[in-house]
Structure 1
Amino acid sequence: MSWSIGAWSRRQALSCVAAASSSAVAVDLPFFSPFSPPALQLPVLGPSQHHHRILSAIGQRKKMSCNQPLSTPKFDKVEFSDDVWHETTSFRLFSYNILAQAYVKSTSFPHSPSSCLKWKARSQALLTRLLSFNADILCLQELDEYEYYKQRMEKQGYQSTYVKRSGKKRDGCGIFFKSERFEILEKQIIDYNDLVPPISPQNDDAAVECSKVDINDPNVRLKRDCVAIMAAFKCFKAPGFIIIVANTHLYWDPNWADVKLAQAKYLVSRLVGFQRELIDRYQKVPIVFLVGDFNSTPGDQVYNYLVSNEKDVMVVPPFISSSLQVMLAKDSIRGVADSSLENNHSTKLRASNNRVETIFFPLCSLYGKVAGEPSFTNCTPGFTGTLDYIFFCPSCCLRPKSILSLPSIDSIETVGGLPNHFHPSDHLPIGADLVIKL
C-alpha cells in the first residue's frame, strides 16, 4: 500500500512527494541495444481539472461490473543490434506488491469501487492475475494471506518461500517458483530490525518510554518491522548456473529517507555475503536479481545508491552474531568510507555503531536500461509514481528478451487510481522474460 492515499492522509505527508525527482540513472551495459523510447510524462493538471478527472473516473468505476476482465499481460520485445545470441534457456521473472488485505479500508481507498475491496472478490482477482503472468519466478510484497495463495498456487505447479514482517505486522514477502523448472538450493531471511541493538530486560521500560517521545533515537527510528528474503535457485534447464533472487519491501515514509537508505545498505551487504557464500560452496558466480517495492522514486537517494557501481553498505553491527559479521567481511570489502546519509538524522544513525564500508557491487535497473523507468507503478489520487523495480547485476550470460508493458496514466485501466476492476492492487506488476546463454 506504499504511499497510497490512505497512508498519506493518515500521516499528512502528501506534500513530500512533489519534490521527488523522476530522472533515471543508467549503467552502461555492452550487451544492451540503444533501444530507449521516450519516457512517458504525467499530464500537468490544475486543481479543478484534477478534481473533475478523479470524480468522473470514480463515477465510471462505480458503474462497472465486478466481472470486468482483468488486464491481460502484454510484453514489449527487446531488440538487439547483434544476432550472435541463440536462445538456450529463458525464464520469466515478476515482481508485484499485491496490497495486503489488512490495509484495505474503504476510508483509505474512497476512489475504488467497494466491490473491489472486499476479500472474496480481491482474492479471486489476485489469484487470477498472478496465474495470468505465467511467471517462472514470482516475487510478492504485502503478502498477508500466505496460506491461501500457497495452497492454490501449489495446485498450479508452484512452490514457495515466505517471510512475515516483524512485530504485529500481518504481511510479508514471498517468492513463488515453478517446481518443474527450479529448485531452491539455499535461502536467507533479512530482518531490518537487526540494525537495532537488542533491548536488555532492565532497559525495556525505558526504551518503551523513549519510543513514545523520541522518534529520532536510532534504536527507535530504525525499527520499522520491514523484511526481505533471498533464495538461490538451481535452474534445471541451465544446470551450470545459480540464480539469486532477493525480494524486499522497504519502509514507506518519504520523510524517513535515512531509514530506507540504511535498509538498502544492509540489504546489499547481506546480498553480497550470500553471493560470496554460494561462490565458495558451488564454485559458480550466481546471476543476481534484487526486486521489490523500494518505496523510492527514480533519482532519489535509495535509487541512486542501488544503481551506483561502488556502494557504501551498512555492515552488520557488532551485536549481531560473529558468523554473520564474518560472512559480510569476506574479501568483497575493499575499504572503509565515511558515508553521510545526507539528512538531519545521519549523525544519530552513525552514532549507533553501525559501520559503513565500501564494496564494488554494480546493479542496473532492468526497465531503466531497456526502455526508461515507467512513469508509475503505484497509482492513487494521492500519489502516482514509480516505486517498484527489478535490479540485476550485469552479466555477459544474461540478457532481457521482453519486458511487461505498463498502462499509461490516461488508460481506462488506471484513470482515477487503483485498485479497480482492472487491477486488484494499488501497484502495477512488473516483469520480464530473460535469456541465459550457456
Structure 2
Amino acid sequence: MKLLSTLVYLLVSFYKFIKKFLVESSMAEFNVSKRHSHSLFIFSIILRKILYRKPKELMGSFNSAPKINNVDSQDDGLELPKGLSTDALLDHVRQLHGSGVVKPSLLSRCFLKPPLNSDDVTDGLRCLQLNSVSRVCSAPSDGAQHIRLLQWNILSQTLGQHNDGFVRCPDEALTWQHRRYLIVQEILQNQPDVVCLQEVDHFKFLQTVLGSQNYDGIFFPKPDSPCLYIEENNGPDGCAIFYKRDKLQLLGYDTRILEVWRVQSNQVAIAARLQLKASGREFCVCTTHLKARHGALLAKLRNEQGRDLIRFVKQFAGESPLLLCGDFNAEPIEPIYATILSCDLFKLGSAYADIKLEREREREREDQEQHTASCDDPNELIAQSIKREPPYTTWKIREDGEECHTIDYVFYTPQQLKIKNCLEFPAGEQIGKNRTPCFEYPSDHFSLVCDFELLDAPLSEDKSKPHGTIQ
C-alpha cells in the first residue's frame, strides 16, 4: 500500500510538471506538436483511471488542499417586503445597494431593435433612470409564442473575491453586499421569461429574490467546485435555470456531469423542458459552463465536453425547439464552435450572429440571393457566423493582463425559433478603463438577452427517433 501511494504521488507530481511546462507555458513558443499535446491528454486520462474510485469522486483537478464543505447560508437573514411588484422590488434593491452612499449606477445598455411603432414610449419601451444617460429597455412581448431568455455568467462570489485576481477592481466592488443587488437589477429590469446562469454560489439568495417575482429555479453544482478549497466559500458553484412560473410550466429536467472520452470532468449542464401556458407549445432550454484556460489541450477538452453536451441534450430534447446557452470559454475560432454549428442532430444557429446577418439582409435586399447561396455551404455558414459574433462578451484585467473575448453564446434551432431582438453590449468607453467587474457592473461577463418567437411546426415534421451525427 505504501509503495502504491508513493507511485501515485510520483505520477501526480510528474503530471503537474508536464502540464505546467506544456500547457501554462506557450506551447507555440516551444513548437510542441499536436502529437505531444495528444500524448499529454492521454496521459492525464490514464492517470485518472489509476486514481479512479467512484464517479462522484473523479474530479477535474488534483488539488491536495482540504475541502471546506460549507453550505449556502450567507443570505439566510435576508428579508424582503411581501407583495412587491418588479418595479417596487427594483426600487427596494437600489435603496439597499445605496445604503445611504451615492454609488455609480448599473451600466446602461440598449436593445438592438427598440420598438418604433408607438407614439407613447411607455407602450413599447421602459426607461430606467440609472444615471445621466437613461437605459432604454425593450419590454418583452406578451405574445403566446414569444420567449425572452437571459444568459449570464454572474461570477462566483468566492472565486471573484478570493481567487480570480481582478487587479483593477476596487475591493468594495467585489463584495457580495455590493454585487448581489446589481445582479438582481440586471436580471429583473430585462424581464426575462427564462434565466440561465453560471458560477452560481448564492442560489438561495437568487431563489428568494427571484421567487418573489414568480420565478422558480433549478440548481446543479459542480462535483468538485474550486470554491470548496477557499475558506470563506458559500458552498459549491454551479449552473442554474430560472423560469417565470406564471408564463411557463416545467415539464421535466435533467442534469449531467460532462464527460471527456467517458471520463467525468468537473463541468456540468442542466436541461429543462418548458411549456408556454398560453399556447401549450413546448421547448427545451439547456445551460452549461465548459472548462476554462487557454491552450490546444484545453481547446480539445472543451470540444469533447461539447460533443458529450450535444448527445445529452439531443437525448433529452428530441425534436423539440431548443435554446442552448452558456459560458463555453471558447472563442468562435475554437473547434467547439464549429462542432455545435455543424452538428446535424440540431442544425443550430447563433442568436447574436444571426440577428446581425438579418439586419445586413434588410439593408441590402438586392444582394439577398447572393447571401442565401453562400449559406448553402456549412463551412461558409460557420465562417459567416464567426464574423458576426459580438466583439466581446467578457472584458477584464487580471494579473497576467487584459482579456477581451467572445466566449458566451446563445444557440438555437432556427427551423423552430426566430430570433427577434437582442441586448447590445456597452462600448469600451462606457465600461471604463478598469473594465469589469467594477462598481457599475457586478461580473466579468456581460449578460446576453435574446427575444425569440416559436415558429409554427411544419406539417411534415418528423416526430420519430432523433437521428444524425456529431462532426
- Given the two structures, how large is their TM-score scaled by the length of structure 1? 0.62
Residue equivalent to 1:187: 253
Q: Residues 330-345 of structure 1: matches in 2 within 5 Å?
A: none
2:107, 2:426 within 8 Å by CA — same for their partners in 1? Answer: no
Q: Is 1:389–2:409 an aligned residue pair?
A: yes
User: How far, CA to CA, are the matches of 1:270 and 1:234 in structure 2?
Assistant: 20
Alpha carbons 1:136, 1:177 under 8 Å: kept: yes
Partner of 2:288, secondary structure, is strand
* Distance across 2 between alignment mates of 1:128 and 1:139: 15
Equivalent residue in structure 2 for 1:432, among 431, 440, 450: 450
Residue 243 of structure 2: aligned partner: 177
Which residue identity lines up with residue 104 of structure 2 in the other structure?
Q
Report if the CA contact (8 A) 1:66-1:116 is conserved. no
- 1:412 aligns with 430
The alignment partner of 1:76 has SS state of coil
| 1:13 Cα deviation after fit | 4.6
1:128 to 2:185 alignment = yes
Identity of aligned residues (%): 25
Preserved CA contact (<8 Å) 1:162 1:174: yes
Matches within 5 A, 1:111-260: 111-169=168-226, 170-193=236-259, 196=262, 223-239=264-280, 241-255=281-295, 256-260=298-302
Structure-to-structure mapping, 1:293-372, within 5 angstroms: 293-310=327-344, 360-371=345-356, 372=388
Task: Provide the rounded CA distance (Å) in 2 between the counterparts of 1:368 and 1:14.
Answer: 33
Q: Secondary structure at the match of 1:115?
A: helix
Per the alignment, residue 422 of structure 1 pairs with 440
SS in 2 for 1:412: helix
Distance 1:73 1:421 in 2: 16
- Aligned-partner Cα distance in 2 for 1:88–1:135: 14
Amino acid at match of 1:374: P
Give how far 1:73 is off: 4.2
CA-CA distance at 1:149 after TM superposition? 0.9
> What amino acid sits opposite 2:146 in the alignment?
S
Structure 2 residue 305 is the aligned partner of structure 1 residue 263:
yes
1:66 deviation in Å?
6.3
Contact 2:152–2:446, Cα closer than 8 Å, also in 1: yes
Contact (CA 8 Å) 1:78, 1:400: kept in 2 or not? Answer: no
Describe the shift of the 1:123–1:195 C-alpha distance in structure 2 as closer, same or farther (beyond 3 A).
farther
CA distance in 1, matches of 2:259, 2:220: 14
Equivalent in the alignment of 2:8:
none
TM-score by length of 2: 0.58
| 1:127 aligned counterpart, secondary structure | helix
Q: Distance in 2 between matches of 1:140 and 1:386?
A: 17
Q: Contact (CA 8 Å) 2:259, 2:308: kept in 1 or not?
A: no
Question: Structure 1 pair 362/228, CA: closer, same or farther in 2 (3 Å)?
Answer: same
The number of residues matched between the two structures is 292
Deviation at 1:436, TM superposition (A): 2.3
Matches within 5 A, 1:281-296: 285-296=319-330
Aligned to 1:4: none
**1:105-140 CA-partner distances (Å, limit 9, x unpaired):** 367111012211011111122122221221110100
SS in 1 for 2:301: helix
Deviations 1:340-370 (A, max 9, x none): xxxxxxxxxxxxxxxxxxxx33111111122
Match of 1:28 in 2: none
**Distance 1:12-1:269 versus aligned 2 partners, 3 A rule:** closer
The one of the two structures with greater contact order (alpha-carbon pairs below 8 A, sep at least 6) is 1
Name 1:323's counterpart in structure 2: none
Matches within 5 A, 1:80-95: 89-95=145-151
1-side partners of 2:343 and 2:305: how far apart? Answer: 18
Say if 2:103 is the partner of 1:67.
Answer: yes
Shift of the alpha carbon at 1:398?
2.3
Match in the other structure for 1:272: 314
| 2:154 paired residue among 98, 101, 112 | 98
Cα RMSD for the two superposed structures: 2.7
Deviation string 1:170-212 (CA, Å, 9 cap, x unpaired) is 1000001110011111111010258555xxxxxxxxxxxxxxx
Over 3 Å counting, the alpha-carbon distance change for 1:243 and 1:73 in structure 2 is farther
Which of 1 and 2 has greater Rg?
2
8 Å Cα contact 1:290-1:392 kept in structure 2: yes
Distance 1:182 1:88, change over 3 A: closer
CA contact (8 A) 2:259 2:305 kept: no
Shift of 1:14: 8.7
User: Residues 367 and 100 from structure 1, CA distance in 2 versus in 1: closer, same or farther, beyond 3 angstroms?
Assistant: same
The answer for the alignment partner of 1:374 in structure 2 is 390
Residue 10 (structure 2) aligns with: none
Unaligned stretches of 5+ in structure 2? 1-19, 30-100, 116-141, 227-235, 357-387, 457-471
